[in-house]
Amino acid sequence: MSFQQVSPPIEQDEQPFACEAPNDMAQPESWVSNIKYLIVGVLFGIVFVKAEIISWFRIQEMFRLQSFHMYGVIGSAVVVGMISVFLIKKFNIKTLSGETVQFHPKKFQRGQIYGGLIFGLGWAITGACPGPLFAQIGSGYMAVIVTLLSAVAGTWAYGYFRDKLPN
Amino acid sequence: MQQFIELIRQPWPWYVAGPLIGLTVPTLLLIGNKSFGISSSLRHICAACFPANISFFKYDWKKEIWNLVFVLGVFFGGMIATNFMENPNAFQLSENTMADLRALGIQDFSGLMPADLFSMEALFSLKGFIFFVLGGFMVGFGTRYAGGCTSGHAIMGLSNLQVPSLIATCCFMVGGFTMTHLLMPFIFKLF
Alpha-carbon gap: A16 to the closest alpha carbon of chain B (Å):
9
CB distance A117–B28 less than 8 Å?
Answer: no
pLDDT recorded at residue B41: 96
Distance between CA atoms of residues A37 and A22, nearest Å = 14
pLDDT at residue A11 tops 80: no
The mean per-residue pLDDT over the stretch A16-45 comes to: 85
pLDDT recorded at residue A65: 98
Distance between CA atoms of residues B23 and A44, nearest Å = 10
Report helix angle A34-50 to A130-138, nearest 10. Answer: 80
pLDDT at residue A1 tops 60: no
Helix (H, G, I), strand (E, B) or coil at A83: helix
Asked if A1 reaches chain B (Cβ–Cβ under 8 Å), the answer is no
Mean pLDDT, all residues of chain B: 94
Report helix angle A130-138 to B135-146, nearest 10. Answer: 140
The mean per-residue pLDDT over the stretch B9-35 comes to: 96
Residue count of chain B:
191
Distance between CA atoms of residues B138 and A27, nearest Å = 36
The mean per-residue pLDDT over the stretch A92-114 comes to: 94
pLDDT band at A12 (very low <50, low <70, confident <90, very high): very low
Question: Which amino acid is it at A110?
Answer: R
Q: What is the DSSP string of A118-167?
A: HHHHHHHHHT--HHHHHHHHHTT-TTHHHHHHHHHHHHHHHHHHGGGS--
The model's pLDDT over B52-69, given as tens digits with 9 standing for 90+, comes to: 999 999 999 999 999 999
pLDDT at residue A15 tops 50: no
Going by C-beta distance under 8 Å and a sequence separation of 6 or more, which residues neighbour residue A95? Answer: A25, A101, B29, B30, B31, B32, B33
pLDDT at residue A14 tops 50: no
Asked if A46 reaches chain B (Cβ–Cβ under 8 Å), the answer is yes
Closest CA to A124 of B138, B124, B133, B13: B138
**Chain A residues touching residue B81 (CB < 8 angstroms):** 45-46, 48-50, 135, 139
Asked if A12 reaches chain B (Cβ–Cβ under 8 Å), the answer is no
Going by C-beta distance under 8 Å and a sequence separation of 6 or more, which residues neighbour residue A32? Answer: none
User: Is the full-model pTM beyond 0.80?
Assistant: yes
Q: Where are the domains of chain A?
A: 31-66+105-164
Closest CA to B176 of A150, A134, A60: A60
The model's pLDDT over B69-125, given as tens digits with 9 standing for 90+, comes to: 999 999 999 999 999 999 888 899 999 999 999 999 999 998 899 998 988 888 889
pLDDT band at A10 (very low <50, low <70, confident <90, very high): very low
Alpha-carbon gap: B153 to the closest alpha carbon of chain A (Å):
8
The mean per-residue pLDDT over the stretch A116-123 comes to: 98
pLDDT recorded at residue A19: 61
**Chain B residues touching residue A111 (CB < 8 angstroms):** 145-147
Cβ atoms within 10 Å of A31's Cβ, excluding its own: 8
What percent of chain A is modeled with pLDDT above 70?
A: 88
Alpha-carbon gap: B2 to the closest alpha carbon of chain A (Å):
18
